[in-house]
Chain A
């Protein structure tokens, strides 16, 4: 189980998140929705352990182990994954070189043929592996590549920060496909999104958490997502 307990997070001196609680079980999907600037990315970054986001109090627990204080790369090696809202472009590092290294560090076999197959499954040709990391990728391509990484690393828990923003109908199919596949493999997923559209493609039930002003304001099932889609967050 992945547990977030009474988490308070600051950026610099400013408190951005207050008293966040989440319990995600293997194979469960938890959807986080909320207005722009409500703190969704802040939560994602704090969970993965980005040093810019300071945890003031609270705990993050992965399968019983307190990982609140440990560095980012160790969290990843323990099976946590973050798909970035804005994946960075690294102009001087080939995607394939990067992936092989990442797989090795996470104890997975650096198998090029397998990487190619997974990329193909995400609608990305081999050519992307020869390019530099995210460099010149379109918005949709970046997101698909992030989810290809999720499939390759098969984490225990994955946080996906708006994988469906700015993607076309076809990309959406690839992305929903990757989410469904991971869920069925038992990965617990926290999906940050603005749209119910992607949720229609998910083949199972899910939990919804509404984040506003740095706090979780409401929780419920798929009907809550529908309501947000129709009426917005005004309440």
Chain B
């Protein structure tokens, strides 16, 4: 694939340093190892120039929606006015709506633009872009750095506090749903913002592989909340990679809902708490059903005193779904009086699938306190009988128990998405998927 990286970079008019970075990464792809926890993909089979490999009907209006997709949207109760967004019918970068959005954002202290424009506009971004996930990390990072082909830059300026959630997905300003999209988020000192990535319904995409990456910088005393919603169509393999760096007094809180993994999903998320008192919390819920496959990796590194990390993951597995949950909290020498806790669990709704948890903690700091707990089980027969003796049918009882089980995670997800998530929980519990 040699030479493609330069061609790609030049065709987009990128600065030379970026093209060179692409080239270095490109020459490293073949040498780079796959990450240990994540299922490999045959990257050679995909076209890095971004030509889609999935044939989609041309969708110009809601009337062109294929029946199976329409059925799914109705089943999930997605309001019709959301369909346009989901189907990518709104070309955000050309619509005047976005221009006014941008002006509005700028008044509030938020800069939103395509990553490419940002890299051309702000020289100092050289110190940020692609730094949190060096291409040498693994094969996906190398591939992504060499061939990324779309992305967004969001910068919350010092002290700005944004009350409404910012949707990174709908604002991807070039090549919406590119095969390798890159998000760069900077929350400056004291800034506060909530980001939403993805949506609860499966997007129609032209690529069967998605190697996306997100870099997040949380500066001193900044607070960032991230809501990640994923529901991929069944022909898609995704390998998203997220790396977050938090400075002194900063906080990151992430809530992840994986509603559909597509053919396979390998999520990798790494958070580094670099400054005193920095905090990270990750809550994740995943539904893995039919023949879906998930590797979910969440790691928190405590690298300064009084830092704390919490990971809670819950998996709901049905049919032949396979789910692997890798969680890790590690404190280094300087992390005095740091704390970390991992809680992972999974329930199997029927037989045929599997859920495996690999919780791990590692400490070299004597005053650091790290704990973990894990369990995998099924919905208890006695609980089901009890509810049935109160008038709930078996399916209704199952749905209620599943919703109750995921509640500790869903309570961190904003109300407007909950209805759909609960509906999916119900469909999964009742076997309607």
Contacts and interface: CB of A to CB of B under 8 A. Distances in A.
A204 interface: no
Contacts of B18: none
Given A97-B400, A101-B400, A90 B386 contact: yes
A161 to B, nearest CB: 11
B163 interface: no
Interface in B353-387: 380, 382-383, 385-387
Contacts of B387: 90, 98, 102
Contacts of A197: none
A97 B391 contact: no
A73 B388 contact: yes
Given A50-B385, A72-B385, A90-B383, A102 B404 contact: no
Given A72-B385, A98-B400, A88 B391 contact: no
Interface stretch (A18-26, A59-67, A76-84, A175-183): A76-84
Contacts of A71: 388, 393-394
A90 B401 contact: yes
Contacts of A88: 380, 382-383, 385-386
A88 B401 CA distance: 13
B391 A93 contact: no
Interface residues of A, number: 26
A71 B397 CA distance: 13
A94 interface: yes
A76 B391 contact: yes
Contacts of A133: 386
Contacts of B397: 73
A154 interface: no
B93 to A, nearest CB: 44
A87 B385 CA distance: 11
B407 interface: yes
Contacts, number: 73
Contact of A93 (B385, B388, B400): B400
Given A92-B404, A93-B400, A93-B404, A87 B390 contact: no
B386 A102 contact: no
B391 A87 contact: no
B401 A102 contact: no
A106 B392 CA distance: 9
B155 to A, nearest CB: 40
A87 B405 CA distance: 19
Q: Which of A72, A82, A102, A149 has the most C-beta atoms of chain B within 10 angstroms of its own C-beta?
A: A72
Interface in A97-138: 97-98, 101-102, 105-106, 132-133
A48 interface: yes
B380 A105 contact: no
B388 A72 contact: yes
Interface string B383-424: 101111111111011001100110110000000000000000
Contacts of B380: 88, 90
Nearest to B405: A92
B404 A97 contact: yes
Interface string B66-80: 000000000000000
B401 to A, nearest CB: 6
A48 B390 CA distance: 10
Contact of A72 (B389, B401, B405, B408): B389
A87 B407 CA distance: 22
A153 to B, nearest CB: 8
A143 B394 CA distance: 24
Q: Which of B385, B391, B393, B396 has the most C-beta atoms of chain A within 10 angstroms of its own C-beta?
A: B391
Contacts of A93: 383, 400-401, 404
B404 A149 contact: no
B401 A105 contact: no
Contacts of A84: 386, 389
A73 B393 contact: yes
A84 B390 CA distance: 11
Interface string B165-181: 00000000000000000
Contacts of A90: 380, 383, 386-387, 401, 404
B396 to A, nearest CB: 7
A106 B390 CA distance: 8
A132 B383 CA distance: 12
Contacts of A105: 390-392, 396
Q: Which of A73, A98, A132 has the most C-beta atoms of chain B within 10 angstroms of its own C-beta?
A: A73
Interface in B81-108: none
Contacts of A102: 387, 390-392
Q: Which of A77, A90, A94 has the most C-beta atoms of chain B within 10 angstroms of its own C-beta?
A: A90
A12 to B, nearest CB: 15
B391 to A, nearest CB: 4
Q: Report the 9 A-B pairs with minimum CB-CB distance, sorted nearest first.
A: A93-B404, A105-B391, A76-B391, A102-B390, A92-B404, A88-B382, A72-B388, A92-B405, A73-B388
27 contacts: A48-B389, A71-B393, A71-B394, A72-B385, A72-B388, A72-B389, A73-B388, A73-B390, A73-B392, A73-B396, A76-B390, A82-B389, A87-B386, A88-B386, A90-B380, A90-B383, A92-B405, A93-B400, A93-B401, A94-B407, A98-B400, A101-B400, A102-B387, A102-B390, A105-B392, A149-B390, A153-B390
Given A50-B389, A73-B393, A98-B400, 16 more contacts: A72-B388, A72-B389, A73-B392, A82-B389, A84-B386, A84-B389, A88-B386, A90-B386, A93-B383, A93-B401, A98-B390, A102-B390, A102-B391, A105-B390, A105-B392, A153-B391
